[in-house]
Structure 1
Amino acid sequence: MLNLKKNTQKKKKNWIALIIKIGIAGFILLLLFIGSIYVGLWGKIPSKTELSDLKQAEASLILDNNKALLGKYFVFDRSIIEYKDIPQYLIDGLVATEDARFYEHEGIDYRSFFRVFFKSLLLQDDSAGGGSTITQQLAKNLYGRDKHGILSLPVNKISEMIIASRIEAIYDKNDILTLYLNTVPFSENTFGIESASQRFFNKTTHELSLSEASTLVGTLKANHSYNPRLFPERSQFRRDIVLQQMEKYGYIDNATRLKESNSPLKIDYHKFTYNEGLAPYFREQVRKQVTRVLDSINHTDQTDYDLYTDGLKITTTLDNTMQEYAEKGMTSHMERLQVQFENAYGASAPWLKNEALVNEIVKKLPEYKRLKTKKLTESQIMDSLRKKSKKPIFTYEGDTIVSLSTIDSLKHYLKFLNAGFVAIEPQTGAVRAYVGGVNFEHFKYDHVTMGKRQVGSTFKPIVYTAALESGMEPCTYFSVKEITYTDKDGWTPSNASDEEQDPYMNYSLEKALSRSINTIAVKVMETVGINPVIAQARKMGIISDLPKVPSLALGTAELSLMELTAAYTSYANQSIPSRPYFIEKIENKDGKILYQYKPKAPLEAAFSARTREIMIQFMKATIDEGTATRMRTTYDITNDMAGKTGTTQDNRDGWFMSITPHLVMGSWVGNDNHQIGFSSTGIGQGANSALPIVANFLNRLNKDSDFNNITNAKFNSPSQDVLEALDCEPDKRDGFFKRLFGKKKKEKVFGE
């Protein structure tokens, strides 16, 4: 019995010794494991030196001319702010919700750590929480987590604890909170509190209310599940929990908590992406220019500035409000015009009936070319392109997903009209509004700077300017009758209206231009000569090829909208064409100016002051009583303005150029495929297709008192000399004897 007792005691001691040995071995292994992480065997741990010089990829900001945010360029949508820009209740809400003992620990909250260790790992209790302090979360935000199989969690947790301890040794608590809020991911792949604030509430972090700050803090628990745009009720519930935590830890009182909890969640969502947001076509032009500027700076100064990661600030010439008015004005008109355009064609539309046209375009598709390389027959290729699948497509009611084949999709997009609009401050060349098309995501082609189309009658003012510069007087009269030019294959320019066919009627230059009489425009250029007209265009800044043919007078030259609008600025800028520009300055994130726009020496005056005053009166008559009277009658635009409409052959392009003392605007409308025009002049003429875009823009501008300096501006009164030169009847009909005995020969050879 005694031996049995001794044996039992001996076994008990052996077990205790074994447990102690196992415990010691386990502890040694744990120390070795931690040591292996510490020395970097599982991945490099950043040193204190590296941590003291943290550099985060930061979005570059595009600002309008009033410093309002226009957009961003980024890899990670992050904007860095300072501690002073963070409201105290945002910090309080973060601490109360994410790390209540933040100010008491030095990076690791051992109480929370062991609670989580025993409840989560040993007892499998999911309610234990994460146990990571704000500093540990910061470490994870900065360096992410690596995969190490079943040891991933312990390796990463210990790594974060080591990094957190080093961070706490370098930075004070305010710095850590700032670093955390600048790096933490919010909903929709948005990084940092400033970007999240701009995304969901369209305001800076400093401007956030208590409710808004609590909403954003609440998303940190699960940034998709508590996305305030996608799940507003769930997000509001989480916001209220944050407010409860703030009350629990004494940051707010009960009355404040109840007041905020009872307020509805309201967001003001603004997404800054490549395809979406305000002015995407303009932002793309700015991106190209900034890239060229940075390449030059990096090459010259041996720097390495990166547009997408270095937090640059790019101040542009654009005005956000004017841009918004321009985009809304274009969209509202183009949606109506598209319906008008399709209804006019009906079932005979070229994208439906013109198989030759469709097949021609099909053969240019990348998918067609890819299938062709596989040695498929034409029939096999077309069968493949006719297979339907679900595709997102553009409509003015919003993008929708439908079942379409590649050919169906091509026909869908082939029917769409497109447009361009630009507004330039003539005295400086600053571009204030810029709309390159109806939808950037689906139509990347920029119709302001990239596209060149025949300009139609908008070229006529250049012809008349050249005529006045040559000494022709405003009261010079030309007959409206047609003339056939035998040296140009019997070319006979005609007029659009039957009222302008009276062979005995003569118009003054003013009436001829304001009514856009084709026959007279050609006769004026015949009198002046093609070369002087081309020379006049060059003086006004036009550099594109100009054909030396009589039809140049009618606008057969192909120009971009930007080029033509810039030429028109000379009428509002003391006869000097301005040079359009987009960027005012580029700064690095510390405020150092890397680039500042410096106006080049102004171009020489393209024509005399007298010619300018006369041309303004000519084009004011176009608005008041000529081809652009819709500005007054239909759209009730009362601004002091001048302008010119334009329509090209077969109604393929509609143009409208508008001049006010402080803003010159140009618009173009047409189909991207040159073979598809409007079915009738009534729909396709510039007064119907392009003019309304400018009218809609001005209507919105006129209602905004912030732009009174533009909308209320008046042209200077013409000089007495000009008033006297314009003092004549707008038209006169040949008398009886001239009609009876005058020349009856219709044909005449065009000459310079």
Structure 2
Amino acid sequence: MAKAKKQTNTVPDFTKYVRLFWIAFLGGILSIVLIFLLASWGVFGEMPDHTVLENPKTNLATEILSTDGKTLGKFYFNDNRTPVGYNELPPYLVNALMATEDARFKDHSGIDAKGTLRAILTLGSGGGASTISQQLAKQLFHGEGSKNIVERVLQKVKEWIIAIRLERQYTKEEIIAQYFNIYDFLNNADGIRSASSIYFDKEPKELDVKESAMLVGMFKNSSLFNPRRRPEMVSDRRNVVLAQMYKYGYINESLKDSLQKTDLDLKYTPQSHRDGIATYFRGYLDGFMKDWIKENPKPDGTKYDLYNDGLTIYTTIDSRMQKHAEDAVEQHMSRLQAEFFKQNSPERNPTAPFLDLNKDEVSSLLRRSMKQSERWRHLKYDLKKSDKEIEESFDKPAEMSVFAWKEGKPSEIDTIMKPMDSMRYYKSFLRTGMMSMDPQTGHVKAWVGGMNYRHFQYDMVKQGKRQIGSTFKPFVYTAAMDQLHLSPCDELPDTPFCIEANKYGNPEAWCPKNSGGEYGGTRSLKNALANSVNTITAQLIDKVGPQTVIDLVKKLGIDSEIPAVPSIALGTPDISVYEMVGAYSSFANQGVYTKPVMVTTIADKNGTILYQFKPETRDVLSAETAYVTVKLMEGVTQSGSGARLRGKGRDAYRADYRKVITGYPYELTNPIAGKTGTTQNQSDGWFMGMVPNLVTGVWVGGEDRAVHFPNITYGQGAAMALPIWGVYMKSCYADKNLDISTGAFEKPKNLSINVDCSQTDDDDNSNSSQPGQDMPDDLNF
């Protein structure tokens, strides 16, 4: 019998598997460490060093601040970003961010290990693991992730490294502030400062719980959660944030439930170069800053970048007064324009909106305007089109948005129109310019260069110069009183008067006429100025000579060219609102001219002062002469063409006229000095008004002198310009936060000139028209 084979029990040898496991495990660890080391050394792409982390490169908008601390606007190309500090963020905003984006933010050092492990095990289905620090790293240094899996892993590694470095470099509070400042909330809302302003018209510290929740909800994807395009989706996302805030104990359940039922309550306030407050002033400021930058390089010799360097410009504009000024312009111009369209309809006027021109003259005017247009410049010089091609393009209908008044507000109409027809259309709109200034400091408080900057960009405060009519007359009276020591109570005959030919270079005799051709008796100078009597103004300039008056106005800051002819007495020169306000301010400032100031300080992004203005002043008149001139102009608002400011003459107004004259009756009772002005054919209407601490000038007229009202009723300065001043001042006085004077102008000590002409005025033989009648307050013939 064969011997059975011996069986043995063998134990498997796992040694090599264990060895392979540890080799793989340690190799994996070493590989990960190596990857992190290589990434930190910049092998997979440049990594920020200590210096870059300390000063990360972000484009910062230049901010324009009002004197009352409000943001008027910003200069920027792509990034409308103005950083804020952590202490300017409300607690609800910070809590909403941590509850939604990184609940353990205060406990980790840049990487949330627990969240990362969860994300790996669930393959991301349980939520991402990016901390606030990682998201900041992504925003600052490498942007959106790649679709390539390898690149995405490497980017995530770099993100982790940068996040850890950021945690070492900055405090938790600084990281949160940077994250809020860097994020793009869309609609030019770069950073939390712009976002809170654009979506809610607030500063970040003023945001409430639900507003904070909405903005934090946008961090998920602002392109998707856009409150202007998808409000319902954004509302749902906001409610998720509110739920997270409740989950982590930042708000109670009742508050969460009540807020989740509310609307977004957006107050969309766009911040573009052509929208918002003080647009014309910002247009001026853009040129001012570019000139300043040319003359003031950085310490290293390079130039400041107005749009990216985060400068801060402190201006003299008061945002409240600016708003009152813009509202006054809007209220009156919408009414005045409606009346202008009514009186200048094509049915009534075949050459509308032009008067006094035939069809050939209108065609010639439009062709000149065509060649001066931006459209012509673009087609000729940018696109190299021939003149014939350009001219033909002006007669081809095109889609466009045009300006229109709608329910008293500026608006746009989408239409199809020939560019040539649009030019005629735009010329039919009356334009305006307004500036308000503190005469003692020279600080410009309000600046309105037109009705709508988006459609009418030519600034009628400083760029535009127009004939000033009888607002020039106070300069003539001042020169006469200064040179001849006349009193407002001195009298001159109100009779026809001529200055003979060649006396002042005139080739012919100059014989101005009074409005309405009425004369008779004598008038005090105060009465004559109040009623804008041309013959007496002519007598005064004859006594002192045109050059004396020109020398005076040059000292008062008027740089415009003025010919040395006697007709300047009635306001033939073209002068800007800016110059006129500066000149009139000298009367309110006891004869001292103070150059208008718009910018007080410029600082860099770190707050270092780069520029501070130095006042420019000069003595022009004695305090006595300036005061006497003021008393003369008080007569204009007491019994002359400005008397409607007092509420006088109410019964003389027709009902339809009162509908146009905005704000009447004004019923202002405090001392006011002023002067109206109306030029030939009612082409220009002016009003210059003063109280002791505020001087304001207003002009209204068409772009072309052929665009005007057909009669004096609506075309005089007291109807076109004065109402804007009246509404503006009523609003300023109603605003108890403003300190606008209601007192008398300061009387100089030892006044030797008699300014009380009450007895003389009672005896004056006045033929002037009463306010509201169809007679001009003044005309320069």
Q: TM-score range by the shorter chain?
A: 0.7 to 0.9
| Equivalent residue in structure 2 for 1:138, among 127, 136, 139 | 136
- Return the offset for 1:429: 0.7
- 2:392 alignment counterpart: 383
**SS of alignment partner, residue 175 of structure 1:** helix
> Residue type of the partner of 2:693?
H
- 1:579 alignment counterpart: 595
**SS of alignment partner, residue 622 of structure 1:** helix
**SS of alignment partner, residue 623 of structure 1:** helix
**SS of alignment partner, residue 61 of structure 1:** strand
Residues 636, 260 of structure 1: CA spacing in aligned structure 2 closer, same or farther, 3 A cutoff? same
Q: Unpaired runs of 5+ in structure 1?
A: 1-15, 735-752
- 1:362 alignment counterpart: 370
- For 1:29 and 1:169, the matched residues in 2 are separated by 25
- 2:48 alignment counterpart: 46
Q: What pairs up with 1:318-467 in 2 under 5 angstroms? A: 318-347=317-346, 348=349, 349-351=351-353, 354-368=362-376, 381-397=390-406, 398-467=411-480
**SS of alignment partner, residue 700 of structure 2:** strand
Q: What pairs up with 1:279-678 in 2 under 5 angstroms? A: 279-298=278-297, 302=301, 305-347=304-346, 348=349, 349-351=351-353, 354-368=362-376, 381-397=390-406, 398-471=411-484, 472-474=486-488, 475-481=490-496, 483=498, 485-487=500-502, 488=506, 490=508, 493-495=511-513, 497-498=515-516, 500-502=517-519, 504-600=520-616, 602-604=617-619, 606-633=620-647, 634=664, 635-678=666-709
- Return the offset for 1:685: 1.4
**% identity of equivalent residues:** 36
- Return the offset for 1:497: 3.2
Q: Is the 8 Å Cα contact of residues 61 and 314 (structure 1) preserved in structure 2?
A: yes
- For 1:73 and 1:128, the matched residues in 2 are separated by 43
Q: Deviations over 1:137-169 (max 9, x none)?
A: 111210243786745544433332332233234
- For 1:189 and 1:163, the matched residues in 2 are separated by 28
**SS of alignment partner, residue 426 of structure 1:** coil
Q: Deviations over 1:69-110 (max 9, x none)?
A: 222233422222223333333222111211233344433345
Q: Is the 8 Å Cα contact of residues 505 and 731 (structure 1) preserved in structure 2?
A: no
Residues 637, 225 of structure 1: CA spacing in aligned structure 2 closer, same or farther, 3 A cutoff? farther
> Residue type of the partner of 1:550?
P
- Return the offset for 1:485: 4.6
**SS of alignment partner, residue 273 of structure 2:** coil
Q: Is the 8 Å Cα contact of residues 187 and 227 (structure 1) preserved in structure 2?
A: yes
Q: Which moved more, 1:200-209 or 1:694-703?
A: 200-209
> Residue type of the partner of 2:518?
Q
- 2:177 alignment counterpart: 178
**SS of alignment partner, residue 469 of structure 1:** helix
- For 2:67 and 2:388, the matched residues in 1 are separated by 56
- 1:91 alignment counterpart: 94
- For 1:389 and 1:31, the matched residues in 2 are separated by 64
Q: Is the 8 Å Cα contact of residues 62 and 69 (structure 1) preserved in structure 2?
A: yes
Q: Deviations over 1:12-36 (max 9, x none)?
A: xxxx999999999999998887776
Residues 95, 466 of structure 1: CA spacing in aligned structure 2 closer, same or farther, 3 A cutoff? same
Residues 515, 733 of structure 1: CA spacing in aligned structure 2 closer, same or farther, 3 A cutoff? closer
**SS of alignment partner, residue 188 of structure 1:** coil
Q: What pairs up with 1:219-298 in 2 under 5 angstroms? A: 219-298=218-297
- 1:706 alignment counterpart: 737
- 1:738 alignment counterpart: none
**SS of alignment partner, residue 737 of structure 2:** helix
- For 1:367 and 1:543, the matched residues in 2 are separated by 32
Q: Is the 8 Å Cα contact of residues 430 and 581 (structure 1) preserved in structure 2?
A: yes
TM-score by length of 1: 0.86
Q: Is the 8 Å Cα contact of residues 338 and 417 (structure 1) preserved in structure 2?
A: yes
**SS of alignment partner, residue 256 of structure 1:** helix
Residues 647, 589 of structure 1: CA spacing in aligned structure 2 closer, same or farther, 3 A cutoff? same
TM-score by length of 2: 0.83
Q: Which moved more, 1:429-438 or 1:196-205?
A: 196-205
Residues 317, 667 of structure 1: CA spacing in aligned structure 2 closer, same or farther, 3 A cutoff? same
- For 1:238 and 1:621, the matched residues in 2 are separated by 65
> Residue type of the partner of 1:632?
R
**SS of alignment partner, residue 592 of structure 2:** coil
- Return the offset for 1:356: 2.5
- Return the offset for 1:393: 1.7
**SS of alignment partner, residue 187 of structure 1:** coil
Residues 403, 43 of structure 1: CA spacing in aligned structure 2 closer, same or farther, 3 A cutoff? farther
- For 1:229 and 1:620, the matched residues in 2 are separated by 52
- For 1:384 and 1:317, the matched residues in 2 are separated by 44
Residue correspondences, number: 713
Q: Is the 8 Å Cα contact of residues 491 and 522 (structure 2) preserved in structure 1?
A: no
> Residue type of the partner of 1:363?
K
Residues 443, 377 of structure 1: CA spacing in aligned structure 2 closer, same or farther, 3 A cutoff? closer
**SS of alignment partner, residue 139 of structure 2:** helix
Residues 611, 92 of structure 1: CA spacing in aligned structure 2 closer, same or farther, 3 A cutoff? closer
- For 2:313 and 2:384, the matched residues in 1 are separated by 50
- Return the offset for 1:254: 2.0
Q: Is the 8 Å Cα contact of residues 329 and 696 (structure 1) preserved in structure 2?
A: yes
**SS of alignment partner, residue 701 of structure 2:** strand
- Return the offset for 1:514: 1.0
Residues 319, 24 of structure 1: CA spacing in aligned structure 2 closer, same or farther, 3 A cutoff? same
Residues 404, 587 of structure 1: CA spacing in aligned structure 2 closer, same or farther, 3 A cutoff? same
> Residue type of the partner of 1:358?
L
Q: Is the 8 Å Cα contact of residues 188 and 194 (structure 2) preserved in structure 1?
A: no
Q: Deviations over 1:693-749 (max 9, x none)?
A: 111101111212223x42422224685741467742466569xxxxxxxxxxxxxxx
Q: Is the 8 Å Cα contact of residues 146 and 156 (structure 1) preserved in structure 2?
A: no
- Return the offset for 1:267: 3.5
Residues 156, 672 of structure 1: CA spacing in aligned structure 2 closer, same or farther, 3 A cutoff? farther
**SS of alignment partner, residue 585 of structure 1:** strand
Residues 22, 447 of structure 1: CA spacing in aligned structure 2 closer, same or farther, 3 A cutoff? same
- For 1:572 and 1:667, the matched residues in 2 are separated by 17
- Return the offset for 1:328: 0.3
- 1:187 alignment counterpart: 186
Residues 175, 613 of structure 1: CA spacing in aligned structure 2 closer, same or farther, 3 A cutoff? closer
**SS of alignment partner, residue 591 of structure 1:** coil
Q: Is the 8 Å Cα contact of residues 148 and 155 (structure 1) preserved in structure 2?
A: no
- Return the offset for 1:240: 1.6
Q: Is the 8 Å Cα contact of residues 215 and 239 (structure 1) preserved in structure 2?
A: yes
What value does the CA root-mean-square deviation take over the aligned residues?
A: 3.5
**SS of alignment partner, residue 270 of structure 1:** coil
